[in-house]
Amino acid sequence: MNRHVSAIAGRLSLRAPQRQSLEILDRVTELVPPRKDADLEAALAALRAEFPSVADFERDFPSLCFALATGVGKTRLMGAFITYLHVAHGLNNFFVLAPNLTIYNKLIADFTPNTSKYVLKGIAEFAISPPVITTGDNFERQIASGGNLFPVTINIFNISKINSEVRGGRSPRMRSFREEIGNSYFDYLAAQKDLVLIMDESHRYRATAGVRAINELKPVMGLELTATPFVETTRGPTPFRNVIFDYPLARAMEDGFVKEPAVVTRKNFNPAGKSPDAVQLLKLEDGIRLHESVKVDLETYARENGERIVKPFVLVIARDTTHAAELMGLIRSDAFFEGRYADKVIQVDSSVKEEETVEKLLTVEHSDNPVEIVIHVNMLKEGWDVTNLYTIVPLRAANARTLIEQSIGRGLRLPYGRRTGVIAVDRLNIVAHDRFQEIVDEANNPSSPIHLKQLVLDDVDLTQKTVTVVAAPTILTGLGLQSTRTGDAPTPGAAAHPMAVAPPTPPAFTNPREIRVAQLAYGAFRKLAREPDKVPSAAYLSRPEVQALVVREVQSQYQPAQLEMESVGKPAPDIEAVIAATAKLMAERTIDIPRIIVMPKGEVKAGFRPFTLDLSGMRYAAPSEELWAKHLRTDQVDVIGLSRGNLLEERLEDYVVSGLIDFSDVAYDEHADLLYELAGQVVRHLRSYLSEQEAGQVLALHQREIARAVHAQMQDHFWLDDTVEYHHEVRQGWTELKESAFTALNEPPLDYRVSPADKSNMARYLFGGFAKCLSTITKFHSDSERKLAVILEREALKWLRPAKGQFQMFYRSGSDHLEYQPDFVAEIDDCVVMLEPKMASQMNDRDVIAKRDVAVQWCVWASEHARTYGGKPWRYALIPHDAIVENMTLAFLLKQYEEKA
C-alpha cells in the first residue's frame, strides 16, 4: 500500500469507504499511470483484469465512477483524491464540475481555507501554500493576476455554463482568447499534461452536450462521484459501465454512517371515509407534533453530552406550486398551531427564484436561521447537504420507490457525523399515514435502495459456524493449564480450543502430576498477591521465604489426593522444583499491575444549585393518538406518543419529580425543594399555552423525555465539595492477568504482521503469532492498533491488551462512572507504559480527556508503589492514530505523546 494513502487517510480522518476508494485510486494509478493521450483499450484491459465491474470508460479518456451513498462524504473524498494525486504523482491541475448552482457554491466554500467544512484541513503540503481556487466567476481575474501559475490549481465550474455556451453557438468566455496565457482558458486547461477531471453527481453529465464538452478538456483521468450510478431512460434505469467501487445506501445504513429512515403512521389508522384534505391536515399536524418532540430530544442529548444543540426542521413535499402556496397560507395562519410557525416557514419551488432561497437553504442548519419548515415541489436535489432534517411529510402523489429515493436522500446525514445510540437523534421520520403499507412493502422489495444488499449462501457458508474463543494468558499455556471458559479456574490438561494459537515456547510441564503441582502453586501465588507488604511484585515469588510458604501449602493439598497413586510405587514429582519453575515463569509472563483502591476521607458532599430552566425549546402540542414509526431497514417499530384519558398523579409537578428521582445522582430527601421548584417551572411553562388537562396529558405522555431534558440542564449546576480529600490503598502488588473471550469464525488467526485486505472490518479478525504478547490471541479495533502491536513486538519486553476489569479504573461521563480499559500495557527496560491510540479527531473529546486524567493519576500511584520495592515507574501516552507507523520507535512515541501529571 502506498505510504501516502495511510498518511492522507489519517490526516483527513477518512471513513472506511472513503479510504477504500483512495486505496483503489492508488492501485489504478499503478495499473494505468495518469498520462495524456493514454491507450484507452490497453488501459481498460488492465483495469478490467482486476476490477471486472469496469466494462467501459464511457468517455474519450480513462474515467472511473465511485458510487458512494448520500451522507458518506463525497466532497471530503474529492479532497483526498486531489491530495493523493498531487503528493504521490505530482499532478497540479484539477477541474471540479458541479451540476447546479447550489453544489457549485458549496464546493467553492468547501475548498476555501478557513471555512467550517474545509476539506483539505490537516494536509501539511497545503497548509502554507493552499491550492488556488479558480471558478467560473473569477477565472479571468485569476489569469490577470497570474494565479493560474501557482503550483496547484483547483478549477470549480458549473456544468450548465459549459452546456449552454456550447449549445447556443455563442463564443463562451472560457473560449475567448486571453493574451496573458496566449490561448483561451478552456484550451489552456485542455493543453495541460496533468489535468484531472472530478465530476460531482456525475449522473448529471450524461447528456450529449455535456459529454462533448467534457471530452474536449482532454484530461489525463476522470473521477466520477455519485450516489445514483445510473441514467433514467424510457426503458428504465441504465447502470453506469465504469463503476469501480459501489458503496450503496444499504451498507451506509448498516455501518451507521447515515440516519435510519422510518415510515410513521398512527396506530390503527384507516383512511377510509376521510377526505384527502382531512388526511393531509392530520399528516401535517402529526409531522409538527413529531418535530416538536424531536426538538426536545435533540436538545436533551446535546446537553447530556456537551454537544452543540441541533435545530431540526420539517420538509413538506407539495404536489405543485399552487398546492405549495396553499400550504404556506395554512402554516402561516393563526389556526395552525396558534400561528407559531408563521415566520418559520419558507417555500422553495419554480415560482421562487432559486438564488433567493439558496442562502436560506444552506444556512437552515444554523441556530440563528428561524426556518423550521421547508415546503418544496421536487426541487431539492443533490448538493443540499443539511444534517438537521428529521421529519419529512410527503403530500404529493408519487410511487413508493420514487418517494423513498427522492425523500430520504435529503435527510440521511447525521448532525454529529456518527450514530449516537439515541433513537430519536439517529432516526429520519417519514410521515405517511395513508401510504404506510405501500412504503413498507417497497422497502422490503429486494431491489429497494434500503434492501439492496443480498447474501447468497452455498454449502460452505451453511456449514460455517461461529465459536467463542478464549484468549488465555500465556502463563496458563506455559504452565500447561487451560481454562474451559472465561472466569473459570484453570483446569489441568483441559483441551485447547481448535483455534487456539500454540504458545511461543512449549509448556513447562507436560506430566499430569507436575501440572497438578503447578496448578496448586499458581493458586497459592495468587493468594499471596493480596499481601502487597510481603509480595509487592511477581518477582518476589522466587524469594526463599515465599517459596517455603508455598511449598508447605502445596504439600498439604497435594499429598492426600495422591496417596493412592504414590502407594503403587510411582515416583512423586519434585514439588520444590516445580514451584520454583512456576514462580520464575509467572514473573516472566506477568506485568506487575497493582490493584489500587481510591476512597474519600470523610463524607462526600454534592448536590445541585438552584437555577432557572431554559424551556424555550420545549413545545409539546396537546397529545392525540399514538404514532408508530417503522424502521425501513430493520423493521423495528418505535411507538411515539401515547394518550391517556385520566391523569395518574394528583399534582402535575409529581410527573416531573417522579421522573427525576429515577436518576441515580438525584436523591429525593436531599433535593426535594429544588426538584419541586424545577417541576413548577415546567408546569408553568406548559400551562402558558395548554389547559391543565392538556398539560397533564403532555406530562404523562412525555414524562421520561421531560425528566431527561431537566436532568440534562441540572448537570450544568452540579457541585461537589472540593475540600474532600481522597486517599488510595494498594490492595495487591500485582494482579493475575484476566482472560478475554471473542466471537469469531472457526478459522485460524491472522498473522499480526500483515494488514488484512478489508481494514474496515478489523474487529472481525483474530490475530496471533506473537512472541512477546502475554495472551495467545487478540483482536484490534483499527489497523493503527495492529501497527502498534508490531512496534511492541519489536521493542517491548512483554505487552498485553488488558481485559475488562484488569485495572478497575473509573472515569466520570455525565452522571455515570464508567470503567476505563486502556488499549495496551507494555513493559520496557526502564518503565511500564500504558498506551491509548485514539482517532486524531477525537483527541480532545470530553471522555477521552476524562480517561486520560484518571490514567495519569493511576500511573502516579502505581509508580509510588513501585518505588517501595525498586520496581519500574509507570507512564501513560495518548497517541493519535495517524502518528502510529511501523517505522516509529516506542521511545519516540513516548517522547512526543506522554501525558504527565
At 523, which helix (H) or strand (E)? Answer: helix 512-528
Cα 411 from Cα 71, distance rounded (Å)? 9
Q: What is the DSSP string of 103-167?
A: HHHHHHHHTSTTSTT-TTTT-HHHHSSPPEEEETTTHHHHHHHTGGGSS-EEEEEEHHHHHHHHH
In the chain, which residues fall in CATH 3.40.1350?
752-899
3-state secondary structure of 323: helix
Residue 784, φ and ψ in degrees, nearest 5:
-65, -40
| 631 beta partners | 262
**CB contact set of 502 (below 8 Å; sequence gap of 6+):** none
- What average pLDDT does this structure show over 884-896? 93
The alpha-helical segments, DSSP class H, found in 168-275 are: 185-190, 208-216, 249-254
Percent share of the chain, pLDDT over 90: 30
Residue 310 is given by DSSP the state: P
DSSP state of 420: -
Average pLDDT over residues 578-591: 92
Count the helix, strand and coil residues of the chain and give each as a percent rounded to the nearest 5.
40, 20, 40
Q: How far is residue 46's CA from residue 44's CA, in Å, rounded to a whole number?
A: 5
Question: Which CATH architecture does the domain made up of 3-247 adopt?
Answer: 3-Layer(aba) Sandwich (3.40)
Average pLDDT over residues 144-159: 71
pLDDT value at residue 703: 85
Residue with cell 417519514: 430
Instruction: Please state, in angstroms and rounded to a whole number, the distance separating the CA atoms of residues 849 and 838.
Output: 11
Nine-digit cell at 448?
429497494
Angle between helix axes 3-11 and 16-31 (nearest 10 degrees) is: 150
Residue 286 corresponds to which cell in the numbers above?
402529526
Tell me if 319 sits within 8 A of 396, measured CB to CB: yes
Q: Could you tell me which residue, 811 or 612, shows the higher pLDDT?
A: 612
What does the DSSP assignment read for 777-805? -B--SSHHHHHHHHHHHHH-SEEE-PPTT
Strands 243-247 vs 260-266: parallel, antiparallel or unpaired: unpaired
DSSP H helices, 529-667, are 544-567, 575-588, 652-660
CA torsion angle 111 116 120 121 (round to 10): 150
Residues β-bridged to residue 67: 226, 246
Distance between CA atoms of residues 767 and 765, nearest Å: 6
Query: Left, alpha or beta for 785 (phi > 0: left; psi -120 to 50: alpha)?
Result: alpha
- 604 backbone dihedrals φ, ψ, rounded to 5°: -90, 125
Q: How far apart are CA 228 and CA 240, in angstroms?
A: 9
Q: How many CA atoms lie within 13 A of 682 on its CB side?
A: 32
Fold designation for 752-899: Trna Endonuclease; Chain: A, domain 1 (3.40.1350)
User: What value does the mean pLDDT take over residues 605-611?
Assistant: 85
Nearest to 286 by CA among 230, 336, 240: 336
Nearest to 714 by CA among 303, 293, 295, 302: 303
Q: What average pLDDT does this structure show over 193-206?
A: 86
Q: Grid cell 429520519 — which residue?
A: 428
Q: Is the dihedral angle over the CA atoms 803, 804, 810, 814 positive or is it negative?
A: positive
The confidence score (pLDDT) of residue 645 equals: 46
Lowest mean pLDDT among 97-111, 176-190, 555-569, 614-628: 555-569
> Nearest Cα to 208, choosing from 94, 58, 96, 61?
58
From the list 300, 290, 276, the residue with the least C-alpha distance to 337 is 290
Distance between CA atoms of 347 and 494, rounded to whole angstroms?
72
Contacts of 219 by beta carbon, 8 Å cutoff, 6+ apart: 61, 95, 195, 196, 197
Q: Which of the four pLDDT bands, split at 50, 70 and 90, describes residue 30? A: very high
Tell me the C-alpha distance between 788 and 765, whole Å: 16
Contacts of 406 (CB under 8 A, 6+ apart): 378, 381, 398
Give the separation between CA 789 and CA 780, rounded to whole angstroms. Answer: 9
Residue 331 and residue 322: Cα distance in Å, rounded?
Answer: 14
> Residue 537: which of 803, 867, 826, 877 has the closest Cα?
867
Calculate what percentage of the chain has a pLDDT beyond 70.
Answer: 78
Residue 569 pLDDT exceeds 60: no
Which amino acid is present at 469? V
Q: Is 827 exposed, middle or buried (0-12, 13-18, 19+ CB in 10 A)?
A: buried
Q: How many C-beta atoms surround the C-beta of residue 549 within 10 A? A: 17
pLDDT band, very low/low/confident/very high, at 360 (cuts 50, 70, 90): low
Q: Do 263 and 439 form a contact (C-beta atoms < 8 A)?
A: yes
Alpha-carbon gap, residue 692 to 359, rounded angstroms: 42
How many Å apart are CA 247 and CA 43, to the nearest integer?
Answer: 24
8 Å CB contact between 375 and 346:
yes
At 692, the amino acid letter reads E
Tell me which amino acid residue 566 is. E
d(CA 506, CA 472): 15
- In this predicted model, what pLDDT tens digit does every residue of 89-133 receive, in sequence order? 999 999 998 887 778 888 888 899 888 788 888 888 887 788 988
Kindly report, residue by residue over 687-739, the tens digit of the pLDDT.
Answer: 999 988 889 888 887 888 899 899 989 988 888 765 556 668 888 888 888 88
Q: For 558, what's the count of Cα atoms within 13 Å in the CB-facing half-sphere?
A: 26
pLDDT tens digits for range 284-295: 988 888 888 888
**pLDDT, tens only, 461-511:** 333 444 556 778 888 888 877 643 333 333 333 333 334 444 456 788 888
Locate 22 and state its grid cell: 483512495
Q: Is the pLDDT of residue 567 over 50?
A: no
- Asked whether 778 and 739 are in contact (CB, 8 A), the reply is no
Angle at Cα 892 formed by Cα 890 and Cα 896, nearest 5°? Answer: 120
**Burial degree of 402 (CB within 10 A; 0-12, 13-18, 19+):** middle
Q: Does domain 253-443 have CATH number 3.40.50.300?
A: yes
Residue 440, pLDDT score: 62
**pLDDT of 535 over the 70 cut:** yes
Instruction: Please report the pLDDT score of residue 636 as a whole number.
Output: 72
SS3 223: strand
Which grid coordinates are listed for 851? 480517561
Residue 696 has phi, psi (to 5 degrees) of -65, -40
Q: Give the span between the Cα atoms of 295 and 390, in whole angstroms.
A: 9
The most confident of 376-380, 746-750, 862-866, by mean pLDDT:
862-866
Segment 323-354, tens digit of pLDDT: 999 999 999 999 898 899 999 999 887 666 65
CATH 3.40.50.300 domain extents, the chain = 3-247, 253-443
Q: What is the pLDDT of residue 526?
A: 87
**Do the beta carbons of residue 728 and residue 715 sit within 8 Å?**
no
> Cα–Cα distance between 252 and 260 in angstroms, integer?
10
Q: What is the pTM of this model?
A: 0.58
Identify which of 834, 856, 852, 835 has the alpha carbon closest to the alpha carbon of residue 843: 852
Section 67-91 average pLDDT: 91
541 or 397, greater pLDDT:
541
Q: Which of 705, 215, 622 is nearest to 424 (CA)?
A: 705
Per-residue confidence (pLDDT) for residue 708, from 0 to 100: 87
Maximum C-alpha span of the chain: 111
> Which has more pLDDT, 419 or 662?
419
For the chain, the residue count is 901
Contacts of 238 (CB under 8 A, 6+ apart): 230, 231, 232
Q: What is the CA radius of gyration of the chain?
A: 33
